[in-house]
Chain A
């Protein structure tokens, strides 16, 4: 597998699994307007995953569905951060949302200068949609920091910070430290999956696996 295909799969897997976790809030978000907004964000992340899978599929001679659903959980390249099931803790959910969007902004910005036109073009489009996600994450981070319960949010950010560092590599980690305003620590690196990924995968692929090879 080329390093570009690996990179595309990494991004796609992060977005798919995070989109799945965010969608767990549909119907149980703090209030109605936020339920719609957060579900919409989850759906957009899955849309971005699909776009990355399509590009990777071209390189690998397969299709997006097979990449998204037909691999064994161990083959996914998602970071541990997105695998964590955080429902029903809103403070931890927003902490992850804010950390992820901050890291994602850094790597999307880098992708916009990719020498591959398709990748650069996709990154530019995704960047425009992500503007709203960042506004949303910043808005909630500010709201929770200003609340009397701010300790829960700050504690969640501290807890998830090592995981967030594991989203990016090399000099992007320094950029992430600046953006978040925290010192670097030992990161929870990609490469090993949490025990939460397999149950997620089983539920996510349950329908597809129920009739192998079906055309839906």
Chain B
């Protein structure tokens, strides 16, 4: 049976995927997880999950179809909009030093 192991670097941190191992049952899985991911005090805690208890979720469930950048804080690029505005107004009105259209 395959198990996935998640480890917590320090108390309060999110658990992160560390790797997988094979073991016949939970007791063995715990022993081996401790061996591979906790032997040198490198983890505050571990989670062990049978691989088939995990649900993988990806495209098309999470696929982006439309460009919805406007929802994101970094979605508006002022630089692009400024350039477009200058082009609409005309290259002659561009501030000195800036490249023409």
User: Residues of A with Cβ closer than 8 Å to B?
Assistant: 31-34, 36-37, 40, 132, 135-136, 139, 142-143
Binding site for A on B (CB under 8 A): 21-24, 27-28, 31-32, 34-36, 39
A135-B31 in contact given A31-B22, A33-B21, A143-B24 (Cβ < 8 Å): yes
How many residue pairs at the A-B interface have CB separations less than 8 Å?
29
Sample of 5 A–B contacts (CB below 8 Å): A37-B31, A40-B35, A135-B27, A136-B31, A142-B27
Q: Does B34 lie within 8 Å of A132, measured CB to CB?
A: yes
The answer for the CA separation of A135 and B32 in the assembled complex, in Å, is: 11
**Residues A33 and B34 in contact, CB atoms below 8 Å apart:** no
Distance in angstroms from B95 CB to nearest chain A CB is: 66
Q: How far is the CA of A132 from the CA of B27 in the complex (A)?
A: 12
Q: Are A33 and B22 touching (Cβ within 8 A)?
A: yes
Task: Label chain B's interface by main secondary structure.
Answer: helix
Q: In the bound complex, what is the Cα–Cα distance between A139 and B28 (angstroms)?
A: 7
Closest B-chain residue to A138, C-beta based? B27
Say whether, besides A31-B22, A33-B21, A33-B23, A139 and B31 are in contact (CB < 8 Å).
yes
A36 near B27 with CB under 8 A, answer no
Query: CB-CB < 8 A to A135: which residues of B?
Result: 27, 31
User: A36 CA to B23 CA in the complex, in Å?
Assistant: 13
Do the beta carbons of A37 and B24 come within 8 Å of each other? Answer: no
Which chain A residue has the least Cβ–Cβ distance from B29? Answer: A33
> What residues on A are CB-neighbors of B27 within 8 Å?
135, 139, 142
| Nearest CB of B to A128, in Å | 12
* CA of A34 to CA of B24, assembled, Å: 11
Would B22 and A37 count as touching, CB distance under 8 A? no
Cα–Cα, bound, A57→B34 (Å): 33
**Contacts A33-B23, A143-B24 hold; do A132 and B36 have CB atoms under 8 A apart?**
no
Is A132 touching B22 in the complex (CB atoms < 8 A)? no
Q: Report B-chain residues with C-beta under 8 Å of the C-beta of A32.
A: 22
Q: Is the CB of A36 within 8 A of B35?
A: yes
Give the docked Cα–Cα distance between A42 and B36 (Å).
Answer: 15
Looking across the interface, which residue of chain B has its beta carbon closest to that of A136?
B31
Please tell me if the beta carbons of A36 and B36 are within 8 angstroms of each other in the complex. yes
A143, B31: Cα distance in complex, Å: 13
CA distance A32 to B21 in the complex (A): 9
Q: A33-B36, A40-B39 are in contact. List 5 more A-B contacts (CB 8 A).
A: A33-B28, A33-B32, A36-B32, A37-B32, A132-B34
Min Cβ gap B63→A in Å is 37
Contacting residues, chain B, for A40 (C-beta < 8 A): 35, 39
Instruction: Please indicate the chain A residues that have their CB under 8 angstroms from the CB of B32 in the complex.
Output: 33-34, 36-37
B10 to chain A, nearest CB (A): 20
